[in-house]
Structure 1
C-alpha cells in the first residue's frame, strides 16, 4: 500500500523550497522579515497541480512538531497526576510549575511558531485552490477537506494550551504587526466549522488509499473530542455532549474499526497499521524525509544500561529517564492486576543480560553479587514488594517498589523502537498513533455519562474493559450503570491511554488539573497555581506585536 510516509517531505525542505507563503507566516510574528533566496521555484508554483499537492503534503508534516516529540510530551505528560520527573533532562520546571516556566519557554515558542506555519500553509492552500488546474475537482475537494482537518487540528492544540489565540484564516502575504487575540469562543467556532465542512468530502473509510491521510472517521473522532473539550470551556454550549455522542457513535459503527483482541498488540512494534488506529502521524526510516523523527521511545525508560549484566542496546532503548510513573499510577490506576492485564502489558518487567559476567549488586542488596550468561534474566520488576529473603534466592536483581528511584522504575513499553539503526539514534521511525478506537469508546462513554445515560455508557466502555481482561476474567471486568461516574473515567483513561499525550488535556477539561497534581505529583504539588491551566504566550510573539502586551495580552500569572 502506498503510504503518506512516501508523500511526507521534510518540512523545512518543502516549506522553504516551495511554499513562500509558509515563510510569510513569520510576517504575523516579526516586524522585520529577513528572507534568504533558497530556491528558484517561485511563489506561483503552489498554484500549479504539483505545487498544490506538495503543499497539502507539507501541511501534514507540521504534525511532527507535536506527536512523539519532547515538547509534545512535556506539555501533556509532565505536570499531571500520572507521571513525575525522572533523573535527567532540562525541562523539569514544566513538571514542577516553578517560575522558570514562563513566557520565554522554548517549547511554547516552538509549538506556537510551528503551528502557525502549518496553519498558514493550510490558509494558502484553501485560498489558492480555486485557481489551481489540472486536478480533478473531486480530488481537489478531498485535499481541501484534509487541509481543513489539519488547520482545525492545529488550532485545537493551540486553544487547549493557550486559550484564545490569533485566529488567522487567510494567507499571510506581507509583514504585519497588527495582531489581536481572538476569544476561545471564536477559536472553537472556527475549529468546528472547519471540521464540519471537511467531513463530507473526506473518504468514508477506515484508511485512505494513501495511508496517513485524514479520513472521515478521523475528522469525526477529532470533532467529537472538540465537543467534549468545548463543553467545559468558556465556549460551552448545551448540546456539546449530544453532538459528541452522534459523531463518536458513527466512528464506532460505520467504518469497520475494531478493538484488537490483545491490548499489547495496539502498540506492538511493526503493527502500527492496525484496525484500531483511526489516525496516525507518519514517520519513516529515511533520514532525509523523517524530520526530527518520532522520539517517544527515549522518554519513558529507566536506567537499565548501567546495571550489572546490562549495557544499552536497541531492543531495550536509549533511556533518557524523563518520565517516572507516580505512586498514583502504579498503586491506584493499576491496582487491579488480577483481572486487568493492562499493567502487565504496558510496562517492561524484565531485562535479559547482554553483558555476561560476575558483578557486585547495585540496588538489590539481598545478595552480594550476581553472575550472568548471555540471555539470563538480569533485572526483574515483580510490581510488588517481594521479601528480601525471597529476593536473595533469585540469581538476578529484583527491583521492588521500595527500591524505585528517579532512575529505576517501571518503564512504559508503548513506544519502544528496536528498528533504529543503532543504540544511540534519537530519530525513531515508528508512526505515532494519535487517534485510536479505545479512546473513541471512552469519550463516547463520557459523553453519555454527562447526559445521564449511565447504563448506555457502561455498555460502550465495557468493550474496552473486556479487551483489557486476562483470559477468563472478561465478565469480572465489566461495569454497570452504578459504577459510571467521573472518577471512573479519570482512572480508566489513565489505564488505557497512559503516556499517549492526552493526560494534561484531560485533567484540564475535567477541571481537575490543580487538584490532581496537588494530590499525586509530589514534584509539582507545592507550586501549581490557578493560572497554570493555561500555558504562557511566547514572549517573542508579544514583542513582535505593535503595542506589545496591551495589544496582545499575556495569559494571567505569567
Structure 2
C-alpha cells in the first residue's frame, strides 16, 4: 500500500516554549491526568464525545451529511441565491468540480476526527471499572465507530485512530478498507455486548443495543457491496438487522408525514436520531459547532411570501430535482408529497389559508436559476413555529431545534430486505419487509389489501427485486441524505444519473467519487493526496 501521510488534528500547540514558561500552576482544578476519576467526570467526557454528531455547522461551514448526501446525488441541486455562487464550496461539490482546496473538506474531516479523539478519551483515559463507566465506554466505542464510518462515507479509507495521538503523530498512512471496516465492526460488537436494550426518558438520544446493531448492519451492507458483493458480509448485515427487528423496540409510525411535523422528536420509528437543541445561543462566531439544526433555515423556501400559513422563508438550498419528483410511481404520491412541494402546491396552500399579503407566493427572482426546478424539500421545513425559538439569545436562524434521523426503522427494514436478497436469505422474507414499508407509504390507517405489493410493482414495472429495493430506498429516504452514499457503495454513481445535466454528467468521474482530503491537512506532511488508489479497497 502506498504511504499516505496525513495529520489528524492540530496537535502541536507550542513549538518554541522554554521549560520555564511551561512550568506554571494550572488555573483550573482538573487536568487531563486527574479528570477521569469519577463516574460523573467520565459521563461529562462522554457527552462531549456525543457533541460533534449534532454540528450542522462547524468551523464556519455547513457540514450536514444530509446536505452532502442529497446535493451530491441526483436528488437535489445546491440552490442558493441567483448568483450561482452562494456557498461556493457546496456549488463545487454539487457540480463535481471540487479540488483539495474546497473549504468544506477540512471542516467535515475535523468534525469527525474530533469526535474520534473525544471518544478515545472516554475509552482510554480512565481506570475506573464501575458498571456506569463500562456503559460509557461502550457508548464511546459506538461513537468512535460512527465517526470512523462517516469519515469513510465521505473520504473512503482513512487512518483508523484508536489511541491518543501525540505531537509526533503527524505522518499516518491511510488504512485499507478492510482495516477500517474491521475496526468499526469490532467497536460496534464490543458496544452491543454492554449497551442496554431500552433507554429511560432522560437517556433518549444515546446509543442503545438496537442502535449499535442497526449501525453494524449498515456497515456490513456497505462493506459487502464494496467488497465484490460478498454474500457472507451481506449475511452478517442481515443477522444484525434482523436482531433489531426481533427486539420489538421499534415500529413504523402509522402516518409517514408526522415524522417530519413540527415538534416531532424521537418517535418509535427512530433508531438513531441526531439531537439538536435551542438552548445554546446560536452565534456565527462559534465556529466549532452549531448545536441547533441549521439545515431548516438553509434549506427553507427562498423568496416565499410572509403570508404562507405554515412556513417562513429560508435560503433556498438543497432543491429537489425534476428527476426525484418523477421517481415516485403514481400510487406513491403520499411519500412524494411529504418530501417535495412545488410552486402550484404552495400557491394552493396560501389560497386555502386566505392569505391577503401573498400577491407573489414565491419570488423566483431570488432563486438560483441554474438549480431551481420549481420544487423545494419539506422534510426539513422552516416552520413559522420556530420563531422565538432562540430562548437564550443568539441568531434565531441558528437556534431551530428539529432533530435529524440518521437511521429510521423503515431504513432498517429496507436494508434487511437488501441483505437477505443479496446474501443467502429468503426473497420471500425480503418482500415481506418491503411490503411493510409500502403499506405505510399508502397513507395512514390499515391499507391491507388496497396497496400495491412489491411483487405487483415488480410485475408491472418489469423490475427485479433489487430494482424494487433501489426504488424503495430512494422513495422512502428522499431528502434525508442517504442517496449519494447508496449510489457510491453500489457502483451506481455514474454520469448516466445526470444525463439531463451536462455540467454534472461531464464532471463526474466514477473513479473519484470520494472527496479528497484538504490540502491544508496533507501539506503539513508535504504530500498531496493522489486518491483514489485501488489498493486501499482491499
Give the structure-1-normalised TM-score: 0.78
- 1:108 maps to 105
Q: Quick one: which of 435, 444, 461 aligns to 1:462?
A: 435
- Partner of residue 19, structure 2: none
**Would you say the 8 A contact 2:231–2:422 is kept in 1?**
no
Query: Shift of residue 31 of structure 1?
Result: 7.4
| Map 1:149-228 → 2, pairs under 5 A | 149-205=142-198, 209-228=202-221
Instruction: Tell whether 2:407 aligns with 1:435.
Output: yes
Offset, 1:353: 8.8
Do structure 1's residue 541 and structure 2's residue 538 form an aligned pair?
Answer: no
1:327 corresponds to: 322
Relative to structure 1, the CA distance from residue 74 to residue 38 in structure 2 (aligned partners, 3 Å threshold; closer, same or farther) is farther
Any idea what the Cα deviations from partners look like across 1:235-267, whole Å, max 9, x if unmatched? 874411111111111112213311001000112
Q: CA deviation at 1:451?
A: 2.8
Alignment correspondent of 1:476? 451
Contact 1:80/1:503 (8 A) holds in 2: yes
CA RMSD after TM alignment: 3.4
Q: Which residue is equivalent to 1:415?
A: 380
Following TM superposition, by how much is the alpha carbon of 1:153 offset from its aligned partner in structure 2, in angstroms? 0.3
Distance 1:253 1:373, change over 3 A: closer
Secondary structure of residue in 2 paired with 1:92:
helix
What secondary structure is seen at the aligned counterpart in 2 of 1:542?
helix
Please report how far the alpha carbon of residue 177 of structure 1 lies from its aligned counterpart in structure 2 after TM superposition: 2.5
Q: How far apart are 1:476 and its partner, in Å?
A: 2.9
Separation in 1, partners of 2:352, 2:70: 37
**Residue aligning to 2:392:** none
Distance 2:218 2:92 in 1: 29
Task: Indicate the residue corresponding to 2:32 in structure 1.
Answer: 43
Return the alpha-carbon distance in structure 2 between the equivalents of residues 74 and 521 of structure 1. 19
C-alpha distance in structure 2 between counterparts of 1:103 and 1:38, whole Å: 40
Gaps of 5+ in 2: 1-5, 16-21, 283-288, 390-394
- Hey, what's the Cα distance between the residues in 2 that align with 1:237 and 1:425? 45
Give the secondary structure class of the aligned counterpart of 1:232. helix
Q: Which residue of 2 aligns with 1:119?
A: 116
Partners of 1:277 and 1:528 in 2: how far apart? 34
Take 1:508 and 1:415, find their aligned partners in 2: how far apart are those partners?
24
Report what 2:62 is aligned to: 70
Contact 2:145 2:188 (8 Å CA) reproduced: yes
- Distance of 2:228 and 2:161 partners within structure 1: 18
1:52 correspondence with 2:42: yes
The question of whether the paired residues in 1 share the 8 Å contact of 2:301 and 2:312 is answered with no
The alpha-carbon distance between structure 1 residues 398 and 297, as it changes in their structure 2 partners (threshold 3 A), is closer
Could you tell me how far apart the structure 2 residues matched to 1:193 and 1:202 are? 14
Change (3 A) 1:373 1:52: closer
User: What secondary structure does 1:279 align onto?
Assistant: strand
Task: Tell whether the 8 Å contact from 1:30 to 1:175 is kept in structure 2 after alignment.
Answer: no
Q: Which residue of 1 aligns with 2:511?
A: 531
Unaligned runs of 5+ residues in structure 1 are 1-25, 355-371, 380-394
- Counterpart position of 2:286: none
The match for 1:7 is none
Q: Per the alignment, in what secondary structure is the counterpart of residue 258 of structure 1?
A: coil
CA distance in 1, matches of 2:269, 2:160: 33
Alpha-carbon shift at residue 204 of structure 1 (Å):
0.9
Secondary structure of the residue that 2:494 maps to in structure 1? Answer: helix
- Go from structure 1 to structure 2 and tell me whether the alpha carbon gap of 1:287 and 1:408 turns closer, same or farther (over 3 Å shift): farther
**Does the aligned pair in 1 maintain the 2:281–2:399 contact within 8 Å?**
no
Which secondary structure state, in structure 2, belongs to the residue aligned with residue 280 of structure 1? strand
Q: Which moved more, 1:530-539 or 1:503-512?
A: 530-539
Partner of 2:18: none
In structure 1, the partner of 2:355 is: 376
Aligned partners of 1:192 and 1:398: how far apart in 2?
48
When residues 277 and 510 of structure 1 are mapped into structure 2, their CA distance, relative to the original with a 3 A threshold, is same
* CA contact 2:272–2:408 (8 Å) conserved in 1: yes
Q: Mapping of 1:326-405 within 5 angstroms? A: 326-331=321-326, 333-336=327-330, 338=331, 340-348=333-341, 349-350=345-346, 375-376=354-355
**Paired residues of 2:418 and 2:469 also in contact (CA < 8 A):** yes
**Do 2:159 and 2:173's aligned partners in 1 also have CA atoms closer than 8 Å?**
yes
| 1:267 is the counterpart of 2:260 | yes
- 1:512 to 1:39, Cα distance in 2 relative to 1, 3 A: farther
Deviation at 1:57, TM superposition (A): 0.6
Shift in alpha-carbon separation, 1:28–1:161, aligned structure 2, 3 A: closer
Q: Aligned in 2, Cα 1:556/1:181: closer, same or farther, shift over 3 Å?
A: closer
